[in-house]
Amino acid sequence: MPLEMKEKMSYCPTCNIVKPARTKHCRQSNCCIKNFDHHCPWTGNSVGLRNYRMFLAFIVTTAVASFLNAGASIFVFINSTKKGDVIHEIICPVFFVWNLLVFSLVGALCGFHCFLICRGQTTNEFLRGERNGGGGGGLECFVKSELLAMDGFPGLEDENLDVEEAGRALEILQEALAP
């Protein structure tokens, strides 16, 4: 690709691709992620368009589980018939405090992501101070992805479509660069 075309487009030199809108290269995963949200150290992958639903489900279930564990800990502590036992006097309150702490932190993270969904932003866009995440509703992560399934392989028909799209894109760019 000529240098003048690369300058006019969002191009990733590491992946050697033209990046679609709202795509960012993740240094930890070493690949471009569409609608890049963040790289999550707890799940060990980048969160973007294809796995945002799973990430959201992960933090919601973690928050709910910690809330239920905190409630179970306090229930066992209050309804215990063995007063003076180490399990009931020390471990139940420690579990309660730990689960309450986890619930408050993960619950806040869950609330923050609900806020981002309503605004149509990603965490990356929010931290960079971009006002609008790129158009469309905030629930685009819940719409079925246009990308292939992880187990799907492109066939000859897909390759022909890619070649046609690339040809059209080059024609448009050449027209734009023409004096």
Beta bridge partners of 33: 24
Mapping DSSP onto H, E and C, the string for the chain reads CCHHHHHHCCEECCCCEECCCCEEEECCCCEEEECCCEEECCCCEEECCCCHHHHHHHHHHHHHHHHHHHHHHHHHHHCCCCCCCHHHHHHHHHHHHHHHHHHHHHHHHHHHHHHHHHHCCCHHHHHHCCCCCCCCCCCHHHCCCCCCCCCCCCCHHHHHHHHHHHHHHHHHHHHHHCC
Cβ count near 50 (within 10 Å): 17
Catalytic residue among 12, 26, 31, 40: 40
Give yes or no for a contact between 33 and 48, defined as CB atoms under 8 angstroms apart.
Answer: yes
**Is 12 an annotated catalytic residue?**
no
Q: Which residues are catalytic?
A: 40
